[in-house]
Each structure stands twice: as C-alpha cells, then as structure tokens.
C-alpha cells in the first residue's frame, strides 16, 4: 500500500501543478491544414512538409540500416529484415505465396508510410512550433527578437490566471482589444504550426485510398483480363440474349445481373469514402484528444493518451494495408474458385496467381 501512495501522491502533485501553472491558451483546432508558403497556385501546407519528412526518414533509415549488407544479418539489418519478414509472412498467409509476392510491395509501402506518419506525429514538436499569423482575434503572444528573427510565444497559466490570454472572435470588442495588445508590443493572431500529422489532412487518406483502388483494379484486370474483370461492373449480355431469344425469364435474369453490376461499381466507389474517413477520423480525433488534455492537464494524464495513440497508429496502418490486400484478393479471384480452394485442389488459374 505504501508503494502505491509513493506513485499516486507525486502523480497528483504533478497533475495539480500542471493544471495551475502550465496551461496555455485554448488550442486552436482546425480541419483544414495551414498553408506555410506558396509556389504560384501551389500551396505548401504543414502536412505536405510532414509527408516529405516522413518519406525522408524512411529512405534515410533504410539506407543506414542496410549500408553494410551482410549475408548473416546483425544489428539494424537484423531488425529491418525481421520486421519485413514478419509482415511478409502475414501477407502471404492471407494471399498465398504467389499473390503475396505480387501484393507485398504495395501493401508494405502503405503500411509503413501510414505507421511512421502516425508515430512521428506524436513527437512534441507537432502543433506547437510555427509561424504567427496576425489577426484581430486569437492568441495574445509575447514577442522576442532572436537575432534577425522575431520569436512569438504564448503565456502560461497561474493562480488567478487559468489560461493564456486570448481574444475571442465573437467578442464585439475584439478589434479594440487587439489594437491595445499591439500597442503594448504583443502579437495577436493564430499559430500556423510547421508540422502537423499527415493523416489529419483529409487529402492524405484520400490519396492513399485512390492509390489502393488503382492497384486493386490493376491487379484484377491483369489477372483476369479487361473483359472478364469488367463484366462484374457491366453485365448486360443476359438482357440482349433474352431479347434475341424472346425469353422474358432470361431478360429478367439479365436485368438482375446488370443491377448487381451497378451495385458492385457503387461498392468499389464507397470503398474510397470508407478508407478515407476511417483513417482521417481516427487520427484527427486522436490529435484533438491529445491537444485538449495537454491544455487541461499538461502533466501525467496526457501520457496514457500518447500510449493509446501508439496502439491506434499501428492498428489503423494495419487495417488500411490489410483491407487493400483483401480487396486485391477479391479482385483477382472474381469469377473463379476461392483462391485458397484453388491452390488446395491445384486448379487455380495461372493468370490469377502470377
């Protein structure tokens, strides 16, 4: 019991201290990523900058771990090979050996890009360091010249001052208050962070969903042929055959086939929406939770949510990659036996497995 109180009491002290002394202004939460600079009509947002850094981290990390490639792996090379082999076994366990080799590069790229992007966004430099955008409402920040660069920072809370100074947009005297603060030498506006999680920008999950859909359709067409694969979307041959034979039952069956094809097309389109909003919704919600708990309780209580986001990050990456793999298997097996049954009986069409 004594050991428990040795942990509980310091935790409570840190929680109260953070609540009283370390709270800043209410965090600004926005769906749209902030534009840092532009090249003509191209706006470069903080999520684009983050995506470049994530790609660079992957490339540099793989290079450093494999620059001394050895037949018997050890050290960083051993870790990399173990991770890739483990994920490869998962892919081949679902898709089979031949299809697994075919799908693995795309599925692994999606998984590791999403995973590293999710985990990288948990570092403490996200959403706290950036450029100040001057406005008539928002944070009231102090200014300090560091050489040629003006530095802006927000004030923290204290007894009798429960949050950093802000000017609400709805305040009818917002303009007057902002002018007063500027006369005092303070900065009024919003923070445009340099870095923001890539998957809290709706464009990134959408781009990944489109890439996933393109590869799924490519795998299906290359395995079955354009005509065979396309027949699951456009199948009106039964209608024409029924009209030619003057058989109402055959015409009715053809109409059902055409309707099913339309449903298949709608299903393929809906996947883009579900892929996009599943990843975006989970990661944006996680960012909001961490921002709000960092504002309310800067110490102690924020840590469990960081741990939760580590788990959520890997789960969302795995779900996105696995669903791509499953839909790829459905695409190459359309119109034939189930892939596992086909491999077991030895009657799998060669085109569906190469």
Find tokens 């620059």 and name the residue. 67
Q: CA 107 to CA 231: how far, in whole Å?
A: 26
Q: CA 83 to CA 172: how far, in whole Å?
A: 57
CB 273 within 8 A of CB 202: no
Q: Which residues pair with 133 in a beta bridge?
A: 190
Residue 181: CA count within 13 A, CB half-sphere: 23
Among 123, 124, 121, 156, CA closest to 140: 156
Q: What is the pLDDT along the chain (354 residues), one digit of tens a residue?
A: 567 777 778 777 877 777 777 776 667 778 889 888 888 888 999 999 999 999 999 999 988 888 877 777 777 888 888 899 999 999 999 888 888 999 999 999 999 999 999 999 998 888 777 777 777 777 777 777 766 666 676 766 666 555 557 777 777 888 888 888 888 878 888 878 888 999 999 999 999 999 999 999 999 888 888 877 777 777 665 555 665 666 666 655 666 766 677 788 888 888 899 999 999 999 999 988 888 888 777 777 788 888 999 999 999 999 999 999 999 998 888 544 444 444 443 444 433 333
How far lies 95's CA from each of 17, 54, 284, 347, in Å? 53, 28, 31, 16
CB 270 within 8 A of CB 209: no
CB 258 within 8 A of CB 235: yes
């Amino acid at each position: 019991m004594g050991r428990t109180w040795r942990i509980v009491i310091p935790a409570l002290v840190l929680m109260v201290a953070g609540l009283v002394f370390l709270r800043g202004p209410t965090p600004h939460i926005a769906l749209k990523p902030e534009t840092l600079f532009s090249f003509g009509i191209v706006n470069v947002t903080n999520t684009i900058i983050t995506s470049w850094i994530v790609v660079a981290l992957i490339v540099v990390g793989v290079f450093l771990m494999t620059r001394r490639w050895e037949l018997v792996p050890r050290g960083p090379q051993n870790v990399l090979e173990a991770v890739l082999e483990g994920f490869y076994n998962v892919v081949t366990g679902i898709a089979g050996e031949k299809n697994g080799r075919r799908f693995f590069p795309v599925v692994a790229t999606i998984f590791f890009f999403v995973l590293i992007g999710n985990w990288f966004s948990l570092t403490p430099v996200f959403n706290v360091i950036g450029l100040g955008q001057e406005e008539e409402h928002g944070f009231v920040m102090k200014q300090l010249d560091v050489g040629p660069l003006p530095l802006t920072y927000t004030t923290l809370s204290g007894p009798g001052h429960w949050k950093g100074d802000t000017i609400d947009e709805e305040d009818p005297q917002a303009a007057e208050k902002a002018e007063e603060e500027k006369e005092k030498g303070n900065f009024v506006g919003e923070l445009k962070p340099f870095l923001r999680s890539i998957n809290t920008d709706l464009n990134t999950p959408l781009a990944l969903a489109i890439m996933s859909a393109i590869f799924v359709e490519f795998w299906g067409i290359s395995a079955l042929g354009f005509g065979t694969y396309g027949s699951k979307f456009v199948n009106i041959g039964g209608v024409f055959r029924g009209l030619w034979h003057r058989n109402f039952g055959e015409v009715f069956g053809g109409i059902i086939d055409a309707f099913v094809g339309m449903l298949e097309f709608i299903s393929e389109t809906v996947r883009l929406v579900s892929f996009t909003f599943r990843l975006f919704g989970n990661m944006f919600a996680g960012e909001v939770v961490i921002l709000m708990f960092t504002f309310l309780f800067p110490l102690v209580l924020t840590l469990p949510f960081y741990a939760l986001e580590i788990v959520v990050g890997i789960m969302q990456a795995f779900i996105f990659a696995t669903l791509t793999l499953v839909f790829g298997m459905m695409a190459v097996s359309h119109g034939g036996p189930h892939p596992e049954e086909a491999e077991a009986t030895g009657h799998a069409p060669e085109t569906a497995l190469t």
